[in-house]
Structure 1
Amino acid sequence: MSFQSTVLCSTLVKLPMNDFDLVHRRLSSVTQSAPPVLSVLPTRALVDEKFKVVVENLPPGSPVTLHSLHQSEDKDYWEAFGHYISDHRGVVSVAEDLSFGGTYTGTEVMGLLWSMRPVPGSRAGIRLRKKNVCTPMLINISVCRGHLAEGFRDQCPLASVLIERWYLAPGVRRIDISEKGVRGTLFIPPGPGPFPGVLDMWGGGGGLLEYRSSLLASRGFASFALEYVKPGEMEKADVGLSYFETAFNILKDHPQVIPDRIGIFGFCLGSIVAMYLVTESNVIKPLCCVSVGGFHFVLHEFTVRGIHKLTVKHFNMIRVDENNHQIWRDIGPEILKDPSKKLNVEKINCPVLLVSGHDDQTMAAGENAEDLFRRMKATGKEHLLTSLQYPDAGHQIQPPFSPHYRASYSMSNAQKVMVLWGGQTKPHSDAQEDSWKKILAFLQHHLYSRITPKARK
């Protein structure tokens, strides 16, 4: 009980009975004058951790809008919002209550993150990806009176909280790598080590992306984010098998890495490279492989530029949708019509985890996963394959709670084009959350489970 209400109650015994209603109104006024309280816990966490959002001290049955806002490193604003009604106690709990409208509906604990979209009037075709993992994503969570769908900047929120979302856990070390012609960034988990290692390769957009590797290191794996093609320069990238073998060995030889406990993680073009290493390299022997959003084939002379040339030969298979977004999904199946291009599954000798969305409009990864399983079953190697397939997920399966973008600009043949990645926001986001848990469990099982005490020293 507050100090004010205590004073009023002590006064009550001295008043005549006919003044009771007056005191009751004064008590009600004190109670209702308490401002709404917004809490977000934890306010500082890794990006794959959930938070709880609760609003208290609202009038019962009040319509309110919870709103999230983030300014990216490219200075673009992203937002999400949900419409709620407070319960009989004047409380809204995002983990328990329904959103009746907004960028997401239903009971969605993390809807204020995964349903983020560019604010109205933003540049077309943008995507949200963290560049500097040494700083957090800052997100402002606020609560506004009424059910709003626009004009949030013109509102004076009832309450707001600034939260931090990190890819890099405290104690993770970031090490620039530039040796033997190889470029990238190595992330070492906190603690004495040594640790199992992961060679992490992104897609054909090029450049050095560190956010997944830093998150893997935050979860206990020494992760090497590899740069192997400059942005928009696939056609010039004379990078072959030896480059990736050298990168693998740099990771293996690091004193904080257990040399016989290394896996490979590839997305998009990186998944093509990963599976090629698993089947064709005579130099390295990864312990396991994670492939996200890829189709898999072999080339007589394997280079990134060679992959680009083969893809360009089938650019006649590119279609456009009603929004003039490019659809690339038919290129992979067309390449694999040539039996000589199919991956030699008999050479797969380590566990493989395939993650694919059936609405992938870029790589037809779902069809590829089914074909790969049939061929591995025919050779008695299906026990090495685990396939996670998500019906309404698209190509860009990212770490959990990352905003979904169905289409965005990408570089193709040195030109900027709008590419359709696919996916529906809610099921795609569910796929990101579910697959990340299973990817970490897969890596934990195959890279950690058989470590002997001697190997840890």
Structure 2
Amino acid sequence: MKPLPQRLPILALSVLLLAACAEVKATPAPPPAAWWSGWTYDGAYAVEADQPVALVDTPVSIRVTGLQSDQPVVVRARMALGTRTLESFAAFTADSDGVVALGELQPVYGTYATADAMGLFWSMQPVETEATGAAASPLGPLTVTLTAEADGQVLAAQTLQRLFYDEARVAREEINTETWVGTLFTPASPGPHPAVLCLGGSGGDRAEGFAALLASRGYVTLALPLFGVDPLPAELVEVPLEHFQGALDWLTAQPDVDPGRLAVLGGSKGAEAALLLAAGYPDDLRAVVAYKPSSVVWMGLPRNPADNFAGPKSSWTRDGQPLPFVSGALTLDLLKVMAGRPASLVSSYEGGLKDAEAVAAAAIPVEAIRGAVLLISGGDDQLFPSAQMGEMVMARLAEHAFALPYEHLTYPDAGHNLFAPYLPTTLANSGVTRLGGTPEADALANADAWPKVLAFLEEALRARP
């Protein structure tokens, strides 16, 4: 079926980006009062963590000690995030030694259901919103308070600091040029270092989380927004790819950077841009990491819906000319989103992919890339069909006998909410636009994919003799 008139899909995509807002979900019920019957709590209890201060992508081993055999306890995690407070809990009965090791025991009640050392971290849900509170820095240390409780009584507590980067080991600097702006992260250790250009997504972010974590592991990183900040275009419409090439040239010239060891990383629209950049400027990049990738250039996403009445436009330009693009189709789910009702957009994108002529014209020429390629996608991505498009990229590389390593990590039950591990995954489907997956599936995918991303970059950017 050929896509219906395409101005409406563009209009809807603009509206949903403005309309999506998260709602506070009810926290699972705590253990019943009868669960505590017959027990007294007068011992010396402790909450132990093997790494009280660690990067956010580092797993932590947590134990509660001092309990009696089979004695019940609730372990609760609480964290402030901007103007919100998030919380999770898990109820256990102690082992024969009076110990609760979170990585070994399955919760009887709680916000997650299986034995998982980091379940308290990814299953956090909003419980309070401070309307007048000041939003914290997105990369500021996350303070997580762990408490061991019995029927509301706090038995012991431990405070953890979760970092995106350590200011003593990584320097962060705002960079402003005539054609682009970004954030530079530089390791304090002696260089030259490999470098990664990190591209943000359709929300206008800079992908600083990825950049900070990679800098913490020895990479010089430059985090860029795709649009929305002067001197970049105000909206994600006909953005010149030369902006990103200019940033890459600037990064290559930095004294702490090894110019022969560069990579680009992006997610969603940032992944689309990353693949285009690597294909368009192949001599500069030895690796590409594309979270939630696209195989084609898609329509732009203007902020003002009225702008769409003139017809859809491309997301990108090169040499002053818009790149051919594919538009989404008009679907029932798209109409629901336009009306403010929760729905998925994947059917609209899938409809666009049925336009074979447009897809052929807008296909990203990934065979031109001269570096290793890693794709990461969720099989239940409900924003757009990233797993399908990842397979389209893989097929094109195989068709052209691509000689360098390429791999597609697909997580069948995960959605669009793929990022660094051990961060809350509970809000992906709480707004108007559904992202798919489940909190547990997204968390498992993030925990599995991130070490593979780090290993991939280490191998691809290894110093050559």
TM range (shorter): 0.7 to 0.9
* 1:351 CA drift (Å): 1.1
Query: Structure 2 unaligned runs (5+)?
Result: 1-39, 304-312, 317-321
Question: Could you tell me whether the CA contact under 8 Å between 1:78 and 1:117 is conserved in 2?
Answer: yes
For 1:248, the aligned partner's letter is L
Q: Deviations over 1:92-135 (max 9, x none)?
A: 1112222122111221111110111112x659xxxxx98442x3
* In 2, Cα distance between equivalents of 1:299 and 1:354: 18
* 1:39 CA drift (Å): 1.4
SS of aligned partner of 1:248: helix
SS of aligned partner of 1:400: coil
* In 1, Cα distance between equivalents of 2:281 and 2:136: 32
Question: Could you tell me whether the CA contact under 8 Å between 2:295 and 2:389 is conserved in 1?
Answer: yes
* In 2, Cα distance between equivalents of 1:270 and 1:221: 19
* In 2, Cα distance between equivalents of 1:33 and 1:82: 21
Question: 1:178 matched to which residue of 2?
Answer: 176
Farther-moved stretch of structure 1 (422-431 vs 344-353): 344-353
For 2:456, the aligned partner's letter is F
Q: 2:193 aligns with which of 178, 192, 195?
A: 195
SS of aligned partner of 1:393: coil
1:326 aligns with 2:346: no
SS of aligned partner of 1:107: coil
* In 1, Cα distance between equivalents of 2:79 and 2:325: 37
1:288 aligns with 2:296: no
1:159 aligns with 2:156: yes
* In 2, Cα distance between equivalents of 1:138 and 1:49: 14
* In 1, Cα distance between equivalents of 2:136 and 2:279: 32
* 1:446 CA drift (Å): 0.7
Query: Structure 1 unaligned runs (5+)?
Result: 1-30, 124-128, 147-154, 410-417, 453-457
Computed over aligned residues only, the root mean square deviation of the Cα atoms, in angstroms, reads 3.0
1:48 aligns with 2:46: no
Which structure exhibits the higher relative contact order, with contacts defined as CA atoms closer than 8 Å and separated by 6 or more residues?
2
For 2:178, the aligned partner's letter is K
Distance of aligned partners of 1:313 and 1:96 in 2 relative to their CA distance in 1, 3 Å threshold: closer
Q: Deviations over 1:364-387 (max 9, x none)?
A: 110011122222222212754211
Q: Deviations over 1:189-223 (max 9, x none)?
A: 12111100000002100033422111110011111
* 1:166 CA drift (Å): 0.3
For 1:159, the aligned partner's letter is A
SS of aligned partner of 1:397: coil
1:141 aligns with 2:146: yes
Give TM-score, length-normalised by structure 1. 0.79
* In 2, Cα distance between equivalents of 1:182 and 1:235: 14
Q: 2:214 aligns with which of 197, 213, 216?
A: 216
SS of aligned partner of 2:109: coil
Distance of aligned partners of 1:379 and 1:438 in 2 relative to their CA distance in 1, 3 Å threshold: same
Q: 2:86 aligns with which of 72, 78, 94?
A: 78
* 1:392 CA drift (Å): 0.5
Give TM-score, length-normalised by structure 2. 0.78
* In 1, Cα distance between equivalents of 2:236 and 2:194: 33
Please show how residues 24-39 of structure 1 align to structure 2 within 5 Å: 33-39=42-48
Percent of aligned pairs sharing the same letter = 28
Q: 2:372 aligns with which of 330, 348, 351?
A: 351
SS of aligned partner of 1:396: coil
Please show how residues 23-422 of structure 1 align to structure 2 within 5 Å: 33-73=42-82, 75-119=83-127, 131-133=137-139, 135-146=140-151, 155-169=152-166, 170-230=168-228, 235=235, 238-281=238-281, 285-298=284-297, 306-307=314-315, 313-314=327-328, 316-317=330-331, 319=333, 324-336=341-353, 337=355, 338=358, 339-381=360-402, 383-404=404-425, 405-409=427-431, 418-422=432-436
* 1:230 CA drift (Å): 1.9
SS of aligned partner of 1:319: helix
